[in-house]
Amino acid sequence: MTVRLTQSATLVSRRSLLGAAATTTLALTACRGTVAPESSFIGTPAASPEPPGARGRWAGRTVTVATYGGDVESALRRLVWDPFERATGCRIRTFVNEPARAGTPEPIAATDLVLADPVVAARFAASGKGRPVDLTRVTGLPSDPARAAVGVAPAYAYSLVDCWRRDAFSRDSAPADWTAWWDVQGVPGARALRRNPLGTLEIALLAAGVAPESLYPLDIDRALASLAQIGEAVGDRWWTRGIEPAGWIAADRAILAVAWHHRVIAAQWDGKAVDFGWSQGVLATDCWLAPAKAIEPEAADDLLAWTVSPEAQAVFARETRMGPVNPDAFRSIEPWLLDTLPTAEPQLATQVALDGAWWALHGSEADEAMASWLAGQPAARPVRASKP
């Protein structure tokens, strides 16, 4: 993800973005309390379930999708898009959307669907560049008419969490919240933090005692003052790549780090002795954007409906550990996997939803303030921030 705003992004009106803020976290909050109990587990889904409907219905059509590339696209391709192609005859053409990475407020022309972070999604929702999407036929998906009307749908969720070395802490002895994480006297040892302000400022404010429900609007000055209290323990361990914090923990470069939850799980799969906790994690939701100038809007909407269906969400979550945004997906996920998914209970209730609309309005200010603050930290080497 990125929070860097371009000049054109600032032209979106403050009023329209504030209006979008009311719906930016609905996909997360709507999931609360809806996770199926263990007795509702209906069985592991097929490895590659196919969408229902007439076979070959989109034969000869091509849907163009802009994504981030990498592991997420590979999993979407194999688990979700390939089955859609086989069932419908539609070809799915993808390319890496560099403008979305850089914060451009509107997608590339002639794109049918765009995968975007919460900040870009908030700007897009306020821009008037989307087409309405009808997802009411999707079983289990929480209704969000306001976002659907402007062409925005949730994709999956992930969380910025506390990560630690297993030989240093157990889940019972690890810091219970960010205030305890900040206590270098009570819990001595090296820390690692994300260099990008998105998520880092929220965590710094939570460490300073700000209540989760009072986080926004973020007090940037107070957040930087909180970071100053932990700066010496962080030293030069300001990470810019999602794979770094768990690797640093495993290499004994730090005993505590802030990390993306799915990166820690991937490190565990690689045999690294790392673990993490959900308390006060910063929960973000990537979104699908439906541009008004799509070439194949009908086929694209069918693909979107399949992508957020319980079946597709379940197989994607089981492989990637990204949190489903359709609560019915949990009925097809083994109960012993639920504690690795950020949108399952009880961990969903312990996290804080990131406000993409606030970042769309104030991201450049936060970016500049943190860059200036880091420039004054002798050990913080100047490197460019990157997406998770």
pLDDT digit string, tens, across residues 342-383? 999 999 999 999 999 999 999 999 999 999 999 998 666 443
Strand, helix or coil for residue 316:
helix
Helix (H, G, I), strand (E, B) or coil at 229: helix
Per-residue pLDDT tens over the stretch 304-342? 999 999 999 999 999 999 999 999 999 999 999 999 999
Shared domain check, 250 and 145: no
Q: What is the DSSP string of 167-218?
A: TT--TTTS-SSHHHHT-TTTS-S-EEEESSHHHHHHHHHHHTT--GGG-PSP
Contact 58, 26 (CB under 8 A): no
Residue at 201 is within a domain = yes
For residues 285 and 24, give the distance between their C-alpha atoms in angstroms, rounded to a whole number: 9
Per the domain annotation, does 2 fall within a domain?
A: no
Same structural domain for residues 83 and 62?
yes
242 and 362 housed in the same domain = yes
For residue 323, give the DSSP letter: B
Q: What average pLDDT does the segment 224-228 reach?
A: 98
Residues 78-84 have a mean pLDDT of: 96
Same-domain check for residues 151 and 245: no
- Clarify whether residues 111 and 179 are in a common domain: no
Residue 347 located in a structural domain: no
239 with 361, same domain? yes
The CATH number that applies at residue 241 is: 3.40.190.10
Give pLDDT, residue 380: 66
The larger pLDDT score, comparing residue 349 to residue 385, is at 349
Residue 5 tokens, joined: 């705003």
CA distances from 387 to 58, 173, 286, 361 (A): 34, 31, 12, 19
Q: Which residue has the tokens 């006297």?
A: 185
Which of the four pLDDT bands, split at 50, 70 and 90, describes residue 50?
Answer: confident
* Residues 207, 132 share a domain: no
Summarize pLDDT for 155-201 with one digit per residue, the tens.
999 999 999 999 999 989 999 999 999 999 999 999 999 999 999 99
Q: Assess contact for 153 and 133: CB atoms under 8 A.
A: yes
Compute the average pLDDT of residues 6-11: 29
Whether 382 maps to a domain, the answer reads: no
Query: Is 371 domain-assigned?
Result: yes
Region 81-85: mean pLDDT is 97
Poorest-confidence range of 29-33, 132-136, 142-146? 29-33
Do 214 and 314 belong together in one domain? no
Residues 267 and 295 in one domain: no
Domain that holds residue 289: 7-157+285-342
Please state the domain count of the chain: 2
Specify whether 117 is located in the same domain as 209: no
Query: Per DSSP, what are the bridge partners of residue 63?
Result: 92
Rounded CA gap, 109 and 291, in Å? 8
Classified as helix, coil or strand, 138 is coil
